[in-house]
Structure formats: C-alpha cells, structure tokens
Structure 1
Amino acid sequence: MLELHSITAGYGRRAPVIRDVTLTVRPGESVGLLGPSGCGKSTLARVAALLHAPDMGRVVVDGEAARGWRHRAPRAQRTAFGVVFQQPRLSADPRLRLADLIAEPLRANGADHAARVRELADTVGLSTDLLTRRPHEVSDGQLQRACLARALTLRPRWLICDEMTAMLDASTTAALVGVVEDYRRETGAGLLAVGHDRVLLERWCGRTVEWGELVGA
C-alpha cells in the first residue's frame, strides 16, 4: 500500500503549499486526484514518488516508512515508482535520443537495456526510426510516449501520472491511458493519476478523490 499521512510540504521558507493531507492507494488500485491548478496536487505527487521531502508527515511504501528522498532513497523504494510529468520537454534531457531517454533508469541501475527499450517502444507506439531522434525532432505526444516508456522500464509497483495527458490530443491521450491500464492489469501496480479533467479521471480511475476532501482527512 502507498500511504501518505498528514503531509505538509512546501519549498524553502515560503508558506507550505499543502497542509495536513492524507491519502492511500492500494496495490492494483487506480486513484484519480482531482483539483484546480495551483492547489498543490503536483507537490503531493512528488512527495508520494519520493521526489520531494515533506516538512511534516510520513510516507509509507509497501508497509515500510520512506527512508530518504530522491537519490538518497534506498534503491528498492526509489525504483518502486514510475513517474510521468505534465511537460515532457522539461523532464527529458534534450541531448538524448529517445532510445537513450527510455534506457536512462536501466543504465543507472547497471542493467542491460537494448531488448527492454525495443519492447517498451513497441508498447507505447514508438517506431524504430523515432528512437534515433532527439526531443526537438519529435512532437509532444511522441516525447510523452518515450517518457511513459522510461517510467515503465524498471517495472514499478506504483505509477504516478501528474497531468500526464494535459498537453496531448485525444487520440494520444487514449493510447497512453490504455498503456497504463494494460500495465496495471498485468502487474497489479497501483496508480495515482493527478489532473483537473473530471471526465477523464472518472473514466480512467476506479476511485476519484477531490482535493478538498483530503485536507485534514
């Protein structure tokens, strides 16, 4: 289970962005987190994925309290998460070919990557010729496909999709949601999907939680 207990988090000396937020996601469950822009959803998503340390509260991953954040998190906890952000151009190294972008987590963990990259490229709908291109040579949708493939490389137990489809057209949105759902069904991974599109989240997720319901829960 992924458990966020009484999370308060912010950035530096400024006032906290979120205060006393509690949320749980069970293995295999798909939870949509619905709220307006600027309410703190993305900050909570980063805390959940062990990418941002909370000021107060605790994160529990599969029964074990988080023991670090970002690169200081233990490998077993850090690699339990696959994360896809809203803006692929801000989360992709512009110098890398798409094949290298997908392979980043595998290389960082000393794993062989060629076969896995080909498998994932096919899963997300990237042709072989696209894998040789760099981010400025592909569309937002193609780059987001590569970012989703990168999130799946280490077979995470938890997926965090933070406004993953906000910049995509309807057909690409449907394709990537389909990839996530196929992966979730096949592996039993849990999903936290963050967004402000109620229709999408309610169609996609088994449970949708509104931001206002979380504070002080």
Structure 2
Amino acid sequence: MLSGTGLVAGYRKGVAVLDGIDVEVPAGRVTGLAGPSGCGKSTVARVLGLLQRPWEGRVSVDGDVVDGFRHSAPRAQRTAIGMVFQQPRPAVDPRFTLHEVVAEPLRATGRSEPIEALTEQVGLTAELLRRRPHEVSDGQLQRACLGRALALRPRYLICDEMTAMLDASTTAALVRVVDRQVEEHGTGVLAISHDEALLERWAGRVLRI
C-alpha cells in the first residue's frame, strides 16, 4: 500500500494547503481522489509521488516509511511510483522524440529494454514515436507520458488530472490502459480528478478533500 498519514503541506511558509490529510492507495485497485480546484489534490499527488516533502505527517510505500524526497529518496521507492500530470507539455523535454520520452526512465536508471510493447499498448505508432512534442496533439503526448510512467513497471501509479485536457475517446483509451495494469500487474492507482462522474465509473473507492 502507498499511504500518507496526517499530511500537512504547502508552498508558502505558514499557509498549509493540506492540513492533516490521510490517503491510502491499496495495490490492485483504482482509488479516486476528488475535490474542487485549489483544494490540494495536486499537492497530495506531489507528496505521495515523493516530489515534495510534507511539513508534517508520514508517507509509506509498502510499509516502509519514506525518509527522503525528490532526489534524496531511495531509488527503490522512487521507481515504485509512476506519475502522469495534467499538462503533458511542461512535463517533457521539448527536444525529445516521443520514443525518447517513453524511454527516459530506462535511460536514467541504466536499463536498456525494448519499449515496443509498451508504446503499442498506449497507442503510439512508429511514425508518432519519431515526432517531437510540438508535432503531436495533447492526447498523443499524454499517451507518451503514460508510457513513460509505466516504463519501470511501478507498483503504484498516480494520475493527477491525467484526462482533463483530453477528448472522450482518448480518455477512454488511457483509462483502459491503466485498468489493464491494475488487472494484470496488481498496480495500485490514485486517480485524481475534478470529474466525479468519471471517478464514479472508474474507481472502486472515491476519497474527497
């Protein structure tokens, strides 16, 4: 289980965005997180994704308490969690091809594994993989970002408004990819969205903050 207990976090000193939030993401299930804009959903994602140290509280990955965040987090904990952000363009290097975007975590960890099965799974053709971000749509780039998040076979996946900028058909396609990870690999998913109708259909349990 990926969990956060008593999380207090923010960005300006003395102004907490999260104030004592508890979140549990069990393996093998999709857990939804809903709430209005500005309530701290993305801050939850950053803290559970080990990108931001909480001011107070504890984050645990499969029972092991996280002591370091960002680059000081142990590799085993960092690679256990994949993240997909709402806006794909700021999340990628604009110089990379989509193939390089998907393969980036493998290169960073010194692994050389074929990614053809993964890129096919997320719906990227060989022609699209040769393009750079400015040459593709938001939906196509988000497919690459999902592939990147799954490249290291994480035990947990955090989707922070992953479908907010996408049309209905692309949303359905990416949800199917995530559901396949849950069913075949027992991945635990935290699906964050302001779209409660989507979460009610997708998640087995929906938390609200």
Asked whether the two chains share a fold, i.e. TM above 0.5, the reply is: yes
Distance in 1 of aligned mates of 2:142 and 2:96: 14
| Matched letter for residue 21 of structure 2 | V
Moved more, 41-50 or 13-22: 13-22
Number of aligned residue pairs: give it.
Answer: 209
Percentage of pairs with the same residue = 59
Please give the residue correspondences for 1:182-201 in structure 2 after superposition, counting only pairs within 5 Å: 182-201=180-199
2: CA distance between counterparts of 1:161 and 1:131? 22
Q: Matched residues in 2 for 1:152 and 1:26: separation? A: 17
Q: In the alignment, what sits opposite 1:58?
A: 58
**Which runs of 5 or more residues in structure 2 are unaligned?**
none
> CA–CA distance in 2 between the matches of 1:173 and 1:132?
23
How far apart, CA to CA, are the structure 1 residues paired with 2:26 and 2:140?
Answer: 31
The AA in structure 2 aligned to 1:63 is G
* Paired letter, 1:31: T
Partner of 1:47 in structure 2?
47
Q: Distance in 2 between matches of 1:31 and 1:55?
A: 24
Aligned partners of 1:25, 1:179: CA distance in 2, in Å? 18
Displacement after TM superposition at 1:12 (Å)? 4.0
| Aligned equivalent of 1:10 | 10
Where 1:147 maps in the other structure, the secondary structure is helix
**Structure 1 residue 159 displacement after superposition:** 0.4
Unaligned residue ranges in structure 1 (runs of 5+): 212-217
Cα distance in 2 for residues equivalent to 1:102 and 1:3: 27
Q: Give the partner amino acid of 1:108.
A: A
What SS does structure 1 have at the residue aligned with 2:16? coil
Q: Deviations over 1:115-168 (max 9, x none)?
A: 22x111100001001101100000000000000000000000000000000000
Query: 2 CA distance for matches of 1:37 and 1:94?
Result: 28
Cα distance in 1 between the residues matched to 2:21 and 2:30: 19
Instruction: Quote the residue 2:31 is aligned against.
Output: 31
Q: Which residue of 2 aligns with 1:86?
A: 86
- Deviating above 6 A after TM superposition, structure 1's stretches of 4 or more consecutive aligned residues are none
- What residue is the counterpart of 2:179 in the other structure? 181
Q: What is the CA–CA distance in structure 2 between the aligned matches of 1:14 and 1:59, rounded to whole Å?
A: 21
Residue equivalent to 1:154: 152
| CA distance in 1: counterparts of 2:78 and 2:98, whole angstroms | 23
Residues 43-85 of structure 1: per-residue CA shift (max 9 Å, x gap): 0111011111000000011010002111110000000011000
1:214 aligns with none
* CA-based RMSD: 0.8
Partner of 1:111: 111
